[in-house]
Chain A
Amino acid sequence: MYQITCPHCGPRAQTEFTYERTTDSVVDPAGDAQTAMQALYTRANPMGLDDEIWRHTYGCRAWMVLTRHRVSHEIHAVKAIGPEALP
Chain B
Amino acid sequence: MKTPYSAFSLLRGALNGQKHWEPAWRDPEPKASYDVIIIGGGGHGLATAYYLAKVHGIRNVAVLEKGWIGGGNVGRNTTLVRSNYRLPQLHNFFEFGLKLWHGLSDDLNYNVMFSPRGAMFLGHNDGDMIKLAERGDAMRCDGIDAELLTPKQIAKIEPLLDLSRTARFPIDGALIQWRAGTARHDAVAWGYARAADALGVDIIQKCEVTGFVKDGNRIIGVETSRGRILAGRTGICVAGHSGHVAGLAGLRLPIESQTLQALVTEGVKPMVQSVVMSQSLHFYISQSDKGGIVMGGDPDNWPSYARRGQPTIKEHAIAQAVTCMPALSRLRMLRTWSGVTDMSFDGSPIIGPSPIDGLYLNAGWCYGGFKATPASGWTYAHTLATGKPHALNAPFSLERFMTGATIDETSVGPFPNHR
Contact = CB atoms under 8 A, between A and B. Distances in A.
B9 interface: no
Interface stretch (B10-18, B304-312, B375-383): B304-312
B402 A70 contact: no
A52 B257 CA distance: 13
Instruction: Place the interface of chain A in its size category.
Output: 20 to 34
A43 B310 contact: no
B244 A47 contact: yes
Which of A1, A14, A42, A71 has the most chain B CB atoms inside 10 A of its CB?
Answer: A42
Contact of A14 (B241, B303, B310): B310
Contact of A43 (B255, B305, B312): B255
Contacts, number: 67
A68 to B, nearest CB: 8
11 contacts: A19-B417, A21-B417, A41-B254, A43-B252, A44-B252, A45-B255, A45-B256, A47-B244, A52-B302, A73-B304, A73-B306
Given A43-B243, A70-B257, A19 B303 contact: yes
A85 interface: no
Given A50-B303, A52-B302, A43 B402 contact: no
B301 A70 contact: no
Given A42-B253, A45-B303, 10 more contacts: A1-B312, A15-B312, A21-B415, A40-B414, A41-B401, A41-B402, A42-B254, A46-B243, A47-B305, A52-B302
Interface string B229-246: 000000000000101100
A81 interface: no
B270 interface: no
Nearest to B244: A47
A63 to B, nearest CB: 15
B247 interface: yes
Chain A interface secondary structure, helix, strand, loop or mixed? mixed
Nearest to B308: A73
Nearest to A46: B247
B273 to A, nearest CB: 35
A42 B303 CA distance: 14
Contact of B253 (A1, A45, A70): A45
B101 interface: no
Given A52-B303, A70-B304, A45 B244 contact: yes
B284 interface: no
A54 B417 CA distance: 12
Interface in B309-341: 310-312
Question: Could you say which of A41, A43, A45, A50 has the most chain B C-beta atoms within 10 Å of its C-beta?
Answer: A45
A54 B243 CA distance: 21
A71 B257 CA distance: 11
Question: Which 3 A-B pairs give the minimum distances between C-beta atoms?
Answer: A45-B243, A19-B302, A42-B252
